[in-house]
Each structure stands twice: as structure tokens, then as C-alpha cells.
Amino acid sequence: MLSMNPLLQKFITPRHEYLAVDRNLIVLEASSGANRFAYDPDDLRVGEDARIPFPELLGVEDTLLDILEGRQMIYELKGIARSNQKDVSLRAPAFLPPEFASDRTAFASPSATGTKSIVSASSPSLYFDLYISDYFNEGVFEKRLIVFFEETTEQMVLQQRLVQQVNETSLLLSSLAASNAYIDRIISSMADALIVTSASGIIKTVNQSTQDLLGYNQHELIDKPVLKLIKDEKFLQKVNDLSSSMPGELLKDIEVICQTKAGEEIFIAFSCSAVQTEVEGIKNFIYIGRDITERKRAEAEMIRTLERERELRELKSGFISMTSHEFRNPLSSILSSTELLEHYTHTGLEDKHLKHYDRIKAAVQRMTELLDDVLLLGKAESGKLEFNPKPLELQEFGRNLVEEIKLGSGKNHKVNFVYSGQNTTACIDEKLLQHILNNLLTNAIKYSPQGSTICFGCYCQDEEVVFEIEDQGIGIPKEDQQRLFESFHRAKNVGTIPGTGLGLAIVKKSVELHGGRIAVKSEVGVGTIFKVTLPLR
């Protein structure tokens, strides 16, 4: 009859095989399936040393002796592996040499708890745990050892698979982390700006170039709407339309104005595409932008240069045309008058002499005025036009100017002067004001029918003085009004009325020198109103 350690009772189930040995580890009894757990099933025989089929018992003799003598209750050895291919180096000899007793740890050493694990280096086909305890054989009145075997192949395979999966997952995570770090380094080293937004336009990622270009740090941009940087809603709508487009479709080099943190507007050429996220049906938008501000500035400067060159060519052409026409007529008058004077030299017709003298004087005066206008415009264009404001009595100045006009070109027109306002004195350059008003009044007379009325008003209000000149002349076509103050430009309806096209250009420059402004309102066949506003001080 067996009397067994109570702690070992739990192992006695149909799942377990067992082996009974004496204190010398000689096999006394074995269950029918115990040989499955032996290193070599043929080596498990009653009466033989148990260490031959179970080399795991080598080196634990002292521990087993402690169990027999009550100093230890149980010994466990877990994770033992058996393979179909045997390693003869692990097979114990049939007879242990005497010196083995002094070095029993050569094969295995138990832990302090009496538990250890052995795993074969070859590919195992069987795993089991080994439990050793004592029992009392009442037939011979002697304590013996009983060895139980519990197969754990399924658990070990599952455990190994789990470990393998954990290792593979760790490798994947490490690989993913390395890949992310590599991508981050690429993004950080990009010279172009990179912005990633959600489908709703919320910024999720920006690189360092974006922060440097726009002046924001990362925390100021993440989770903010992309409208903070890009104000062009039409462009953003085009980007949003990419979410429903075919895969691979993108917007390329779309020029957009962005605003920096400092409020400066810069030009960026964006290429954009939609990318699928890990959530099916949800896409993010990627913006890759290059700063083209300097290029746009260079282009604008080139356009301005080309425009200046075009204007210069037009000015040159206009000047040649004007001088050819305007100088030819006075010179022709001078030449014909001179020839006639030669003809009438000895006739005694003094009245005819005086008539031709007047024609010569008028022609010379016209040429002189033309040259004066050209010189004055040249000074204005080069910024050398002198500006010397001094106190000027406006009402008196206006009256004197009208009297001069009536004695000259305005003798066949009515020129009415009206003044209103409490201030009668203004700090103005008299010479430039004379040129401004004389030119406008002369034009009003020149382009109006004889006998018509020219209204000339001077109104002081607040800190400004307004000069208004209204005629009942031919008017100015709308398409010519935009170029009215360009040098050498004349309206298409002037016909044969003489003129250089320089007067209004000089007027505008003179008004601007005073810090004033000039406006025109005109209708063909009705008349024209010029309004000049200058500061009083």
C-alpha cells in the first residue's frame, strides 16, 4: 500500500505518468506510458538506473536525498524537451564513475527552490514537467521516491508561439519606429514647406521649413485651421475636391499668397494631393510648397522695366511726332513771313509789315513755350522740378490770372471767376500754381466754341483750397480719360486743334509736388470739369 505526500496527491490524474525509484534511483515500477518521457524509451527498464533514461536526474541526488529524509517536500523540473533526434552527449553512462559523485552538477543544478528548466537545443516534439516526492511503502517499511510526468507540449508550443509573436511584434514596432524616425529626418531636412491637414482642413503636421518660412512654431500651427496660413478659399476648395478624385491626381505648382506671423504676404507655389489614412474612406491632404516670393518680385520688376521701356519708346515716338508737327508750323510761318517782308521791303506797305511781324512773334513764342514745356517735363520726370511754397493771396492771384487770360487767348470767351471762403492766403508755389491754372484755363478756352463761358472757381474749405474749371467744349472720350495725364497723349477727338500733349502731364506733376490731387469729369459734346485740390499749408 502506498502512503504518499499529500502535496503530491494533486498530480495523480489520468493525465500523468509516473515512475517509482528507491534511494539509489533504481527503477522499481513504471506506468505504461512513462517511457514516452524517457530520453530513449528502450532504456527505461525495471531494475535499471533511472538516470540513464532520465539524464535530468544527474546532479540532483543530494536534493532527492533531502526529500527522503524530510528536509524538502518536493522537487520540480519544468520545461523538459524531448526530440526525435537524440544527442548522445546527454545520455548518461550505465555505471557512474566514483568521481562523478563529487561533481554531480556537471549535468544540471537545481535552483534554490528546487525547481529548474531544461530545453533541448534541437527541435523538440515533446515537452513535459517532472515532479518528485517521497512515498512510504508499508510492505517493506521504507521511504521511496515517486516521479510524475505531466505533458506540457501544447502549452509550451502556445507559449513559444506567443513569444515568437511578441518578438515579431517588437521587431515590427522597432522597424516602424526606425521608419518613422527616418521619414521624420527626411521631412525635417526638406527645403520645401510641408503641411499635412485633415479632410476638414485642420493642420496635423508641419516641418521645420514651414515654421522658418512663416515664422510660427509647431505648437502655434498644430490643430489650427489651414486658413490661418492660406487665405485663398478657391484654392482650398480645389484641394478639398481632391478627396473625391482618382488616386494619384494632384494639384501642381499653384501659386498662392500666404501670410506670415509678422503679417507679411509671400508667394508660395503649392503642389497638393490627397492620401488615404488608416481609416477607410478618410483622407488627409498634403501640401508641399516652395517660396517663390523673390521670383515673383523679380518678375514684377521685369514687367515694370518692360513697361517703362514701352512708355519710353512711346514718349520718344510721341516727342518726335509732336516736335515734327509743332515745330514745322511755326517755322513755316516764320519762313513765309520773312519772304513776304522781303517782297514788301520797298513797297511802303507798313501795315502788311506789322502783320507779318506779329506772325513771326507768335510763331517764336509758340516754339519757346513748347521748349519750356519739354524742359519742365524733363525736370519733373527726373525729380528736379523746384518747389518753393510761399504765402499767396488767392483771391488777388485768381483775378490777375483771369485778366491775363482775357487779354490773350480768352478774348473771344467769357471767363467768370468766383471766390468763396474765409481764408484768403495759402502757402503755395506761385510759379507752379500759375502753370497749373493757366494750362487748364487755356485748354478750356482752346477746346470750347467762341463766345462760350468758362467758369473758374476758387473755394477755401477746412484745410484745403479747391480750384474748379468748367467749360462747354468738345469733352473727352472715356477711353482717353485713363491716359489723360500721360506725356504726349492727346484725345482722339481734338482734330486739328494744336497742342503738344505735355500740358496735363506737367499739371499732374505740379499738383503732386504740393501733395494735392486732380480729378476730371467729362462728357463728349457737353464739356469738361477739372478739379484741383491743394493743402492750404
217 and 276 together in one domain: yes
398 and 459 together in one domain: yes
Q: So what's the pLDDT on residue 482?
A: 87
442 and 312 together in one domain: no
| Secondary structure E strands in 430-526 | 453-461, 464-470, 517-523
Instruction: Give the structural domain span for 327.
Output: 301-381
Are 50 and 39 in contact, with CB atoms under 8 Å apart? no
Average pLDDT, the chain: 79
CATH number at residue 316: 1.10.287.130
Q: So what's the pLDDT on residue 15?
A: 58
11-59: per-residue pLDDT in tens?
455 557 999 999 999 999 999 999 999 999 999 999 999 999 999 999 9
What percent of the chain shows pLDDT beyond 70? Answer: 74
Residue listed under C-alpha cell 509671400: 266
Residue 15 has what DSSP assignment?
A: T
Last residue of a domain, one of 381, 408, 442: 381
pLDDT class for 7, splitting at 50, 70, 90?
very low
360 and 433 together in one domain: no
340 and 402 together in one domain: no
CATH number at residue 119: 3.30.450.20
More confidently predicted of 99 and 333:
333
275 and 318 together in one domain: no
pTM (two decimals): 0.40
453 and 312 together in one domain: no
Give the whole-angstrom CA distance, residue 289 versus residue 270. Answer: 4
9 and 145 together in one domain: yes
Are 501 and 489 in contact, with CB atoms under 8 Å apart? yes
| 160 is a domain residue | no
CA dihedral (474, 477, 483, 489) in degrees, to 10, reads -50
Give the whole-angstrom CA distance, residue 255 versus residue 247. Answer: 23
| 462 is a domain residue | yes
Q: So what's the pLDDT on residue 102?
A: 38
As for how many domains the chain has, the answer is 4
Last residue of a domain, one of 381, 410, 433: 381
| 242 is a domain residue | yes
| 185 is a domain residue | no
142 and 238 together in one domain: no
| 494 is a domain residue | yes
Question: Residue range 342-367: average pLDDT?
Answer: 64
| 177 is a domain residue | no
Are 120 and 83 in contact, with CB atoms under 8 Å apart? yes
119 and 203 together in one domain: no
pLDDT at 431 over 80: yes
Beta strands 414-420 and 75-82 are: unpaired
11 and 138 together in one domain: yes
Last residue of a domain, one of 136, 151, 166: 151
pLDDT class for 113, splitting at 50, 70, 90?
very low
| 252 is a domain residue | yes
142 and 195 together in one domain: no
Beta strands 265-276 and 390-393 are: unpaired
297-342: per-residue pLDDT in tens?
888 889 988 888 887 777 666 665 566 556 666 666 676 767 666 6
70-92: per-residue pLDDT in tens?
999 999 999 899 886 555 444 44
CATH number at residue 448: 3.30.565.10
| 474 is a domain residue | yes
Are 95 and 24 in contact, with CB atoms under 8 Å apart? no
pLDDT class for 280, splitting at 50, 70, 90?
confident
